[in-house]
Structure 1
Amino acid sequence: MVQDLFDRTIRRYVVPISELREGPGDCCYFFRKNGSFVFSQGYSHPKGGLYCKIIYFPAKDGWMDIHGRRYDTTIKRVVDGRLELIPHDRQLARHFEIDPTLDPKAPLPCWAEYHVRLPLSDFTGYFDHRKSLVLAMEDYPKVREAVGKASEILEVPVERLGVTGSLSFGRLEDPVDDVDLCIYGTVAQNEEVIARIRRFTQDPARKVIEFGKFWPMRFYHRDIMICPFFEYLDREEAPLREFGVEILREGVRAEGRVKDDTHGIYMPVLLTLERVTIDGEPHGDLPLIIYDGSLRGEFCLGDRLAMDGVRLVKVRERGKAFPALLVTVSTQIKKAPGATA
């Protein structure tokens, strides 16, 4: 049987789902049997399944080309010839339009309310960050050059790097303008890397302004945008890898100052806030969990944050229980006057 470009490429890049030893990981693309590409975030997933977003799906009138086949996406749209992000609630609604087998009333943990739950049996395989990087560097000289330079300036060996995004399944946009780079390290190693990136972005020429906002973890190297995704080299260091939550209060207003941002560059974002007030009442120090990948690295030590419409929850994580604030979408949180970072 003659395989087309799509089949040949996916066959090279995909890893059989049976080889998913540790369970679903963060920032990982999965290939569904119906041809869609699905994205997982964080490390806490149901047994035999994953909480995820359908990112790319086959569509005869789709505006994207993936290895010769037409696709559309739930996360972006073309308006007047320009790309714009689709709001989270509309992204989620789109899932049920493109896949009527999904139940919009299926129970989900509140932190995953903008995701869907799918069984691993729905998938042919997944795209391993590091395997995909090796193949992409073989296939695309410009990727090899960009990753090699990123490795050098970030002082991270290529062996600790990977790729996500559409490059993880072999798709390189033309013109080549960005690389979604996964950076594996211990918490201490990744702290050193993010410090370097923050120094880079002090240079206005290297700052990334996209979709109307500044992205503090992204930077330009020459004409290529490097989009880092920090990963725990050892999942034991991930503080929220098996967590559940109980809602204590809905729709609260809160403020606080970032006291600890050690885990602010991962997914989910975990910060410790001090001088917290909830609906005007003082609460001392409190963890803040953010389950929106667009806010990785957004908030730093000293930033004063204001939240509206968020939840106060009790977190249960491997025998521990503690209260926390929970943000699930970027519109619920912003920097407040008085940030000192």
Structure 2
Amino acid sequence: MLIPTDHDFIKTIEGFYFCVVGYQHPEDRIISYLKYIPWESGKWRNGETFLKRVLRHYSASEVLRSFKHFEGNFQHYVFKDPINNIIFTAVPEKFISNYYKPQDAVYNITHSDSLDALQEKAFDFIVSLSKKANVPIEDFGITGSILLDIHNPSFSDIDLTIHGHKSAFKIQKIVKKEMDLLDSPLKRIPKQEKDQWVQRKISQYKLSKEQVELILMRKWNFGYYDDVKFSIHPIRKESEIKEKYGMKKFEDKGFIEARARIKEDTESIYLPCKYVLEDVDIVKGKEIQDLRELVSFEGFYCFVAKKGELVQIKGKLEKVSGDNKSYHRVVIGSFKAKEQDYILPILNS
């Protein structure tokens, strides 16, 4: 039985490509966002079909903008989710034409004797990381345009996935180390690109320059490998997926601002990322005693807070119910927040 995991891809019968979000999906459809659509002047190509990218990256505002593509005959891709209490995009199983797993792309590349320049670079990158971090090749995947075989070696990126908790932390450690070495092929984004990235995030999230630069400093999962742009996405193995869709229900309780200490950060590498909280102080909003969890569906806030740090939080408050228990969590990256929510470390605390 197919178990959808984050960063898998789906091709629909209309030729739309969706990227899978997270690990909890209804039985009859897969929660995902629209990534590529057929377009005569598109830069990507699948045989004789040209494609354009709808979303460059996953964010609440980008997903909302993609809804315009589902007007008219494609409303079956808009899903009113009764469990998460949101409207999102999802692909019903009966509309799936092809399904793509990132680890299959690595298998295909390692068993091919006819690779283009970008595929060769991706293969070299994986082999290098595998050796340096002592992680098996089988724990790597390739997502994005290379997975779909619509890439263009002249401009496409290398988007890797790393599967399994232990392997992900090994890769995180080695990438951070390599990026600090002058003679390493792994480089952080150059100053001009960094400045542009910072300005875009300031505009998008309404944060200060100092706040955005702190978040960027903690990002380890994108940069350049031998002058080719790369990203790395930690993915849970199927054996590590403990919760299924419908096991918990989420109820909107308005907005909240709080300060809290990060009790545990080991799940902040995934999307959605999760932080366990303690020492919670409600600054604004409903006074509650059981605020235990901070979850971000906004990839911008993955990796940004560390265990033991104090953080400032603004987001949607949700009551979580399941197994005859309940508690509260704060959600970052909801449509309702309109990117005015945040997780910000309070340094020197």
Q: Smaller-chain TM-score range?
A: 0.7 to 0.9
1:25 equivalenced with 2:5 (yes/no): yes
Q: Cα distance, 1:271 vs. partner?
A: 0.9
CA distance in 1, matches of 2:155, 2:128: 15
Higher strand proportion (structure 1 or 2): 1
The residue aligned with 1:245 is 249
Structure 1 counterpart of 2:15, which letter? Answer: G
- 23-32 vs 329-338, greater mean Cα deviation: 329-338
Match of 1:323 among 321, 328, 333: 328
Q: Cα distance, 1:39 vs. partner?
A: 0.9
Residue 327 to residue 335, structure 1, CA distance change in 2 (3 Å) = same
Match of 2:235 among 223, 231, 247: 231
CA distance in 1, matches of 2:228, 2:296: 28
Residue 169 to residue 211, structure 1, CA distance change in 2 (3 Å) = same
Residue 265 to residue 225, structure 1, CA distance change in 2 (3 Å) = same
Matches within 5 A, 1:1-341: 21-76=1-56, 88-100=60-72, 101-102=74-75, 106-109=79-82, 111=84, 113=86, 115-137=88-110, 138=112, 139=115, 140-175=119-154, 178-185=157-164, 187-202=165-180, 206-208=187-189, 209=194, 211-212=197-198, 214=216, 215-233=219-237, 235-242=238-245, 243-247=247-251, 249-280=253-284, 283=289, 286-316=292-322, 321-329=326-334, 331-338=340-347
Residue 284 to residue 97, structure 1, CA distance change in 2 (3 Å) = closer
CA distance in 1, matches of 2:2, 2:242: 16
What is the DSSP-based 3-state SS (H/G/I as helix, E as strand, rest coil) of the residue aligned with 1:262? coil
After superposition, give the CA deviation of every residue in 1:295-316 in whole Å (9 maximum; x if it has no partner).
Answer: 3333332443323242232143
CA distance in 2, matches of 1:339, 1:99: 50
Instruction: Determine if contact 1:197/1:219 at 8 Å carries over to the other structure.
Output: no
CA distance in 1, matches of 2:82, 2:61: 16
Residue 148 to residue 53, structure 1, CA distance change in 2 (3 Å) = same
What is the DSSP-based 3-state SS (H/G/I as helix, E as strand, rest coil) of the residue aligned with 1:167? helix
Structure 1 counterpart of 2:304, which letter? Answer: E
CA distance in 1, matches of 2:2, 2:133: 27
Q: Cα distance, 1:113 vs. partner?
A: 4.1
What is the DSSP-based 3-state SS (H/G/I as helix, E as strand, rest coil) of the residue aligned with 1:115? strand
What is the DSSP-based 3-state SS (H/G/I as helix, E as strand, rest coil) of the residue aligned with 2:248? strand
The residue aligned with 1:5 is none
Q: Cα distance, 1:135 vs. partner?
A: 2.2
Give percent identity, aligned residues only.
Answer: 16
What is the DSSP-based 3-state SS (H/G/I as helix, E as strand, rest coil) of the residue aligned with 1:211? helix
Structure 2 counterpart of 1:133, which letter? Answer: V
TM-score, normalization by structure 1? 0.77
Residue 292 to residue 115, structure 1, CA distance change in 2 (3 Å) = farther
CA distance in 2, matches of 1:200, 1:247: 43
Residue 164 to residue 104, structure 1, CA distance change in 2 (3 Å) = closer
CA distance in 1, matches of 2:84, 2:308: 25
Q: Cα distance, 1:282 vs. partner?
A: 7.4
Residue 94 to residue 49, structure 1, CA distance change in 2 (3 Å) = same
Instruction: Determine if contact 1:88/1:114 at 8 Å carries over to the other structure.
Output: no
Unaligned runs of 5+ in 1: 1-20, 77-84
What is the DSSP-based 3-state SS (H/G/I as helix, E as strand, rest coil) of the residue aligned with 1:275? strand
Residue 291 to residue 112, structure 1, CA distance change in 2 (3 Å) = farther
Structure 1 counterpart of 2:107, which letter? Answer: V
The residue aligned with 1:8 is none
Q: Cα distance, 1:129 vs. partner?
A: 1.3
TM-score, normalization by structure 2? 0.76
CA distance in 1, matches of 2:138, 2:25: 27
CA distance in 2, matches of 1:112, 1:136: 40
- 302-311 vs 147-156, greater mean Cα deviation: 302-311
Q: Cα distance, 1:239 vs. partner?
A: 4.4
The Cα RMSD (Å) is 3.1
CA distance in 1, matches of 2:28, 2:55: 26
CA distance in 2, matches of 1:75, 1:128: 19
- 305-314 vs 318-327, greater mean Cα deviation: 318-327
What is the DSSP-based 3-state SS (H/G/I as helix, E as strand, rest coil) of the residue aligned with 1:107? strand
Unaligned runs of 5+ in 2: 202-215
Residue 64 to residue 120, structure 1, CA distance change in 2 (3 Å) = same
Structure 1 counterpart of 2:343, which letter? Answer: K
